[in-house]
């Protein structure tokens, strides 16, 4: 939801450079997307180096690399730095490979191919075996083409649409768009089937196959909607601008079973004031059923806040909350505001100037990557613009020694860019501006705890509701500790955080989530039991209007707080730390 200014083009360019670097450094062995995550070892056949953790993988080629990135133990040590998206992608590719081998073997047996598939066949793309079928085999394949098609249709029939989505309990259950596109999924799937498969006709694609897929998708959505009645759901609103520059408001619904797109509303003819937004939200809430909705989440703009609060007052059984990621990003934006923190703004501008210079000149960028940072980048793309700024400052501070060495090495001094006015300016900042480096260190101390909370609320590995309350407390305490507990140093930053948290983000739902999170509530160091219990009671009275059910739930609170009954079993106590709150 944050807007990008022209001054941020350097960061965007740097992110693009980071992406291209990974691809460029991959060995030119095949089109398998796995090679984008490694580089070859010169003069060492089948040896690779992981671009994420720099581990040398000896032998095995692409097969062992996939197992390394997937985090599957046995063949090779798992990668500790690969994202959940990458792990999920690699596991899917390994699973698809196993299925494709089985399918290929079965097809070849059915069409009478005397050349069987060796189960121990190397997957490595360096070894390519082209099998030429004898004439009689081709004849059989042609005559049995219908059987092959039937076999494929049976496989498609068994793999329901929901199998294409990772369960919400799986880390990386919602792969990023970049990760999804990198797999070339459709082409990979077609190639994996192997010879003998007859593709569908144009009529089949636009007719019965399309209808079947639509039917499967509708069944899958109904499968998700059924959970709304059992567990409740969250309604989420987000604004976009389409290719025709028309404003569109999208609505999505989330429940433990998964998230689904609900509808889009063209708002080009509407003024987005509180009244119009309220009418839109009310219409969508009634369409879903107000009795199923626990929370409405929108952006943090004033009109959205007024509309959300008005809706909350009308029904009383749902909560309005602003987007947590947006609120925390606004905290980071406030910390970089030149009116309040001019020194931080100045340091960020200098850092952008340095990265813009490096990433706009290929020679300088190659020099940095190849000779000093071992292929790593200064710019670290993140989920929001301001998080990207602060993460990039962390990287710059991490590679401070290497960057300074680069601007004193012979290759830089002999480079034409070193003699330009801009080159001299950048070199002076890096080598002589000690205040800049000192300010970078100070900024990282303040921003790192907040960026950590931002990552928590934006990932799918565990529900953030039960963790956000404590995470914000811990972030503020860590900032105080990092600044030596001197109120003259941390006071301004904590006030910025408290303003956003107290007036906008905090809700009784966060306190209730913390209360019901065993891992936090029963931790000896946690001291806010009474505070979060008040939040739970407030939530209970709003979401459960029936007094009898309220009394029944309240009577169970003592069992929970004293760990008696089912809550006191050795199994429940043992799994407090490891099990997500939603599974207790």
At 322, is the secondary structure helix, strand, or coil?
A: strand
Output the six-digit token pair for 421.
């006015």
Q: Which of 42-46, 110-114, 324-328, 405-409 has the lowest mean pLDDT?
A: 110-114
Report the pLDDT averaged over residues 513-534: 86
Mean pLDDT of the chain: 78
Q: Where are the domains of the chain?
A: 31-126+134-199, 227-314
Task: Read off the pTM.
Answer: 0.62
Cα–Cα distance, 381 to 429 (Å, whole number): 23
Cα–Cα distance, 389 to 391 (Å, whole number): 6
Q: State residue 579's pLDDT score.
A: 66
Cα–Cα distance, 119 to 123 (Å, whole number): 10
Q: State residue 460's pLDDT score.
A: 58
Residue 556 has pLDDT above 60, yes or no: yes
Question: Which of residues 518 and 169 earns the better pLDDT score?
Answer: 518
Q: State residue 231's pLDDT score.
A: 86
Give the model confidence (pLDDT) of 22-76 as tens digits: 333 334 455 677 888 888 887 777 788 888 888 888 887 788 888 888 888 777 8
Report the pLDDT averaged over residues 258-286: 91
pLDDT classification of 103: cutoffs 50, 70, 90: low
Give the model confidence (pLDDT) of 167-190 as tens digits: 554 544 555 444 544 555 666 667
CATH node for 227-314:
3.30.420.60
Q: What percent of the chain has pLDDT over 90?
A: 31
Q: What percent of the chain has pLDDT over 70?
A: 76
Report DSSP letters for 194-249, one per residue: -TTPPPPPHHHHHTHHHHHHHHHHHHHHHHHHHHHHHH-EEEEEEEEE-TT--EEE
Give the model confidence (pLDDT) of 212-263 as tens digits: 889 998 998 998 999 998 888 999 998 888 777 888 999 999 988 888 999 9
Output the six-digit token pair for 57.
């993988």
Q: State residue 161's pLDDT score.
A: 57
Question: Do 148 and 196 touch, CB atoms closer than 8 A?
Answer: yes
Q: State residue 133's pLDDT score.
A: 38
């Amino acid at each position: 939801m944050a807007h990008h200014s022209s001054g941020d083009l350097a960061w965007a360019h740097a992110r693009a450079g980071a992406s291209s670097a990974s691809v460029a450094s991959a060995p030119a062995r095949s089109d398998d997307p796995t090679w984008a995550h490694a580089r070859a070892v010169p003069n060492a056949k089948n040896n690779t180096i992981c671009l994420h953790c720099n581990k040398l993988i000896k032998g095995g080629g692409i097969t062992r690399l996939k197992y390394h990135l997937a985090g599957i133990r046995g063949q090779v040590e798992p990668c500790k730095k690969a994202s959940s998206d990458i792990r999920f992608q690699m596991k899917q590719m390994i699973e698809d490979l196993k299925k494709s081998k089985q399918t290929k073997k079965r097809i070849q047996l059915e069409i009478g191919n005397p050349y069987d598939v060796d189960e121990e066949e190397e997957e490595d793309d360096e070894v390519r075996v082209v099998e030429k079928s004898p004439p009689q085999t081709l004849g059989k394949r042609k005559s049995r083409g219908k059987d092959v098609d039937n076999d494929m249709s049976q496989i498609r029939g068994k793999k329901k649409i929901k199998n294409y989505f990772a369960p919400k309990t799986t880390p990386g259950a919602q792969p990023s768009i970049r990760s999804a596109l990198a797999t070339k999924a459709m082409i990979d799937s077609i190639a994996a089937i192997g010879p003998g498969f007859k593709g569908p006709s144009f009529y089949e694609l636009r007719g019965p196959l399309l209808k079947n897929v639509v039917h499967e998708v509708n069944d899958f959505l109904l499968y998700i909607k059924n959970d709304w009645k059992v567990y409740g759901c969250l309604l989420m609103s987000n604004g976009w601008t389409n290719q025709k520059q028309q404003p569109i408001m999208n609505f999505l619904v989330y429940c433990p079973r998964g998230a689904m797109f609900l509808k889009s509303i063209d708002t080009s003819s509407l003024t987005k004031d509180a009244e119009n937004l309220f009418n839109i939200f009310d219409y969508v809430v009634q369409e879903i059923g107000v009795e199923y909705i626990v929370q409405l989440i929108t952006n943090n703009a004033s009109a959205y806040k007024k509309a959300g609060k008005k809706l909350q007052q009308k029904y009383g059984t749902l909560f309005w909350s602003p987007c947590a990621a947006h609120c925390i990003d606004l905290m980071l934006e406030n910390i970089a505001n030149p009116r309040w923190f001019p020194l931080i703004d100045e340091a960020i501008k200098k850092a952008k100037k340095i990265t813009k210079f490096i990433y706009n000149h290929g020679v300088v960028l190659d020099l940095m990557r190849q000779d000093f940072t071992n292929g790593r980048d200064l710019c670290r793309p993140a989920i929001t613009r301001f998080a990207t700024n602060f993460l990039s400052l962390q990287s710059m501070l991490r590679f401070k020694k290497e960057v300074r060495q680069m601007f004193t090495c012979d290759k830089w001094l002999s480079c034409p860019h070193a003699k330009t006015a801009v080159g001299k300016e950048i070199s002076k900042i890096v080598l002589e501006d000690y205040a800049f480096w000192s300010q970078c260190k100070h900024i990282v101390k303040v921003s790192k705890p907040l960026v950590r909370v931002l990552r928590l609320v934006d990932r799918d590995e565990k529900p953030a509701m039960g963790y956000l309350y404590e995470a914000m407390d811990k972030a503020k305490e860590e900032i105080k500790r990092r600044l030596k507990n001197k109120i003259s140093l941390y006071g301004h930053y904590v006030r910025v955080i408290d303003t956003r948290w107290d007036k906008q983000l905090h809700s009784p739902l966060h306190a209730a989530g913390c209360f019901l999170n065993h891992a936090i509530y029963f931790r000896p160091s946690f001291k806010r039991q009474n505070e979060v219990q008040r939040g739970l009671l407030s939530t209970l009275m709003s979401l459960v209007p029936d007094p009898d059910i309220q009394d029944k739930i309240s009577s169970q609170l003592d069992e929970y707080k004293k760990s008696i009954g089912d809550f006191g079993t050795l199994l429940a106590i043992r799994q407090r730390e490891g099990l997500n709150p939603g599974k207790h």
